[in-house]
Structures are given as structure tokens and as C-alpha cells.
Amino acid sequence: MTIKVLVFPCGSEIGLEIHSALKYAKDVELYGVSSVSDHGEFVYARYRQIDAHVDSDEFIPQLNRLIGEWQIDLVVPAHDSVILKLAEEQGRLAARATVPEVELARICRNKNATYAHFAGCDFVPDAVSGLASNYPIFAKPAVGQGSQGVELVRDASRHQQLLDSGIEYVFSEYLPGEEFTVDCISDGQGVLLKASPRERARVKSGISVRTRPIELGAEVDAIAACIAEAFRFKGGWFFQVKRARDGRLKLLEVAPRTAGSMGLSRNLGINYPLLSLYAYSGLAFSVIAQRYPIQMDRALKNCFKVELDFDRVYLDLDDTLILRGAVNALLMALLYQWLAKGVEIVLITRHAGCPRETLARYRIAPEIFAEIIHLQDGTPKSRAIGQRERSIFIDDAYRERLDVSTSLGIPVFDLDAIEQLLDWRA
């Protein structure tokens, strides 16, 4: 059985983690949709941009047209506002969405509502009503995500400005300690299977860009069990906690979705987006939660859209395919990508020994190459290539690239430029 999945907005950090989690799943067919031009276009092989934003009257009709065209089984939201919208519009949506019941979605979208729901629990931060008797206090928009609008309020004057701003805020005790995210997975009946805490070691724009597993013991397990029992979420979800002055963990937020940095816990054995699909499809599953030292650090990654039409690649051997005594892994990935697309690959080399023997020593199959051209004199590589249209040339040597570029006018690439040729879409 293949599950056809539509992700919206697919270019958000959440959408990119969902793509990473599902792109190799043999029983999933991924479709990405966004309402603005974003990175999703560079990673989702099946991609469409719509012009209706989530608060538009046309949003659901435009999604429904794509659901019908692609015969989508499940719609996966990749933004907090989209979770609430799809929960509210589930009756009009032409496919099931991986969202909780609408009242739960509303509670999770508003932090004041979340705290009110768990009123009396010792993990809820102490609320501040009206002006505080002591400062600093913590302020954050009740509806928001990441660290947007978060502020440490140091005096009554600033506090009054926020009260008068017309924006609903959460005002609570200041929590000076470490902050943690707890990735959780529940089965199709909402039974919690595993809670995996991780440290938010480095945060950028509200996103945990460096994270590692951490043991927090019974205290966090109790919080996870309480939230899971109250909300009965299906599949993957998470909550965030921070240490108070007395060292206790206090709740920041709960979100019924994939977290952008869940890739850490995923690499330890729990694929939250995939298991969420199973949970909403009524499929039984269990989890293998592994433990070993691991850290994840995230940074911007280059992806390219290159409009080059070529059906043959000419490739050097020394210091190109073989680099510093090892196989160039990125270039090997490109070779197999090209083979799958029917692109011919020609090895053209001035290698001092026998090229086939060297390929065998590095366990590179000579059958990869449509031809192996071994130049043993000073013949220019451009002459050996001849007049070939729709070809490209890869060589670490500037002299060789200059010869081919000048003589043949075909695109030439050094090793630092081949990343543009890799198609990340899946």
C-alpha cells in the first residue's frame, strides 16, 4: 500500500524535516505545496505553488483541487497556523489531515489556553495577572511560534506598554534555566510510546540548530504522561520545558506536529513523520529508541536549480574521481544519479598507470563508464572529446578546463562547483 501525502507549507523548517524523514519511505509518495516561493521547490520532486494563503477563502478549494489531481490520502501541516486551519476545515477538506480535534488544536495554538487546561499542575509557570509585584517577568505572544515576540520584561512601565498593545500575551514567572524539547510518539489510540528529551544547545531565530539527547528522568516522564493522557495525540508531537529558579521544569508550549529538529531523535531510531502517517492510517507500530552519544547541528544548505541540458559527462580520474587517496563520494553519487537518468559517463584521464586497475583497486566498476579514454601523450582533452554538443566536462586542473572551454564551448566544472549538479529532490 502506498500512502500519498501532501505537505503544506513544504518549504518551512518543519516541511523540510518531514521531507528528510519520508523521502526514502518505500510506502510513501510525497507531494509538496506552498503558497510562497520557498525552499520546498528545491527538495520536493512533486511540487506545486498555490496563490491562496492559509487565511484565504480560496485556501481549502485550491488544496482540494490538488488532492483530487494527485489522489492524496493524507494532508500533513507544517506550520502551527495550518494545523488549526485544517482542524477547523476538516469537514470541507477532501482528504484526512494529520491534526487533532479542533478544540485540542485551539488549546495548543494559544499558550494561555494551554496553561489554563493544565491549571493546578505543578509544571505550569506561575501566571502574572496585572502588573507584577516583582520583576523581571517573562512575556510572549499567546499565539505565535519560535521565539517571535519573546521578551524579558524588566519593569512596570514596559509591562504596561505590552498590556496596552492590543496583543494577547502570556505573562509568567521568569524561567532562567536551561530549555529542553521533548519529542514524543503516540500510537493510533493516543497511547504514549516514548518521550525523548533533547537539549536546545544553540538556538537561532527560535529554532534549535544544535541539539543533543539528554536524560531528564522521572520529572519529564511525568509531564509527558500527563500531556499525553489529556490530549491523546496520535503520532509525533512535542513539548518544551525550561528550568525555573528552584530547578523544576516548567512548561513553555505543546505542539501536535513534527518539530524542525526532530531529525536528531529520528536518527536515533524513531521516524516521527512516518509513524504519524501510520497512526492516522490505523496501522499498528512499535518503536526502537536507541541511546548513544550524538549531536545534530543545522546550518544553511545549498541546493541549486540548474537549467543545463546534457546527455554525456566527461570526467577526469586523478584528483577528481579519486581525491586524496579515496573515492570522491559526492561525485560517485552524481555518477549513479546520471546513470539512472540515462546520461553517458566517459572517463578521460592522463593516469600514469592502468586506469582499469586503479578503478578496481578503489572498487569502482568500469561498467559505469560508456568509454574510458586513456591519454598517454600530450593530446589535448578537447581533441579527444571532439565536437560533442550537450556534454559537460569535470576536471580539477584549470589548464584542462580552459582548453575544453575555449575549444569546445561546453560547460566545465571544478570540484568546488559540482554540488550544483546534484538533484536533491525526492
Would 110 be classed as within a structural domain?
no
Phi and psi at 221, nearest 5°, equal -60, -40
The CATH number of residue 358's host domain is 3.40.50.1000
Claim to verify: residue 183 and residue 252 sit in the same structural domain = yes
State pLDDT tens for residues 256-283.
999 999 999 999 999 999 999 999 999 9
CATH number of the CATH domain containing 248: 3.30.470.20
Three-state SS sequence of the chain: CCEEEEEECCCCHHHHHHHHHHCCCCCEEEEEEECCCCCHHHHCCCEEECCCCCCCCCHHHHHHHHHHHHCCCEEEECCHHHHHHHHHCCCCCCCEECCCCHHHHHHHHCHHHHHHHCCCCCCCCCECCCCCCCCCEEEEECCCCCCCCCEEECCHHHHHHHHCCCCCEEEEECCCCCEEEEEEEECCCCCEEEEEEEEEEEEECCEEEEEEECCCCHHHHHHHHHHHHHHCCCEEEEEEEEECCCCCEEEEEEECCCCCCCHHHHHCCCCHHHHHHHHHCCCCCCCCCCCCCCCEECCCCCCCCCCCCCCEEEECCECCCEECCEECHHHHHHHHHHHHCCCEEEEEECCCCCHHHHHHHCCCCHHHCCEEEECCCCCCHHHHHCCCCCEEEECCCHHHHHHHHHHHCCCEECHHHHHHHCCCCC
Please give the share of the chain, as a percent, with pLDDT higher than 90: 91
Residue 121 lies in a domain: no
Q: Tell me the whole-structure pTM to 2 decimals.
A: 0.89
* Tally of structural domains, the chain: 4
Q: Which domain holds residue 266?
A: 179-295
- Check whether residue 275 and residue 183 sit in a common domain: yes
Claim to verify: residue 287 and residue 329 sit in the same structural domain: no
Q: Read off the pLDDT of residues 302-346 as tens digits, 9 standing for 90 and up.
A: 889 899 999 999 999 999 999 999 999 999 999 999 999 999 999
Does 381 reside within a domain? yes
Shared domain for 374 and 349, answered yes or no, is yes
Residues 270 and 322 both lie in one domain:
no
Tens of pLDDT, residue by residue, the chain (426 residues): 899 999 999 999 999 999 999 999 999 999 999 999 999 999 999 999 999 999 999 999 999 999 999 999 999 999 999 999 999 999 999 999 999 999 999 999 999 999 999 999 999 999 999 999 899 999 999 998 766 778 899 999 999 999 999 999 999 999 999 999 999 999 999 999 999 999 988 888 777 789 999 999 999 999 999 999 999 999 999 999 999 999 999 999 999 999 999 999 999 999 999 999 999 999 999 999 899 999 999 888 888 989 999 999 999 999 999 999 999 999 999 999 999 999 999 999 999 999 999 999 999 999 999 999 999 999 999 999 987 789 999 999 999 999 999 999 999 999 999 999 999 898
**Domain check: are 156 and 192 in the same one?**
no
Q: How far apart are CA 86 and CA 170, in angstroms?
A: 25
- Whether residues 169 and 183 share a domain: the answer is no
Using DSSP bridges, classify how beta strands 179-186 and 192-204 pair: parallel, antiparallel or unpaired. antiparallel
Q: How far apart are CA 402 and CA 238, in angstroms?
A: 54
Q: What angle do CA 265, 270, 276 make, to 5 degrees?
A: 115
Cβ atoms of 184 and 239 closer than 8 Å: yes
Residue 116 within a domain: no
Residues 333 and 378 in one domain: yes
With cell 519593569, the residue in question is 155
Answer yes or no: is 45 within a domain. Answer: yes
301 within domain boundaries: no
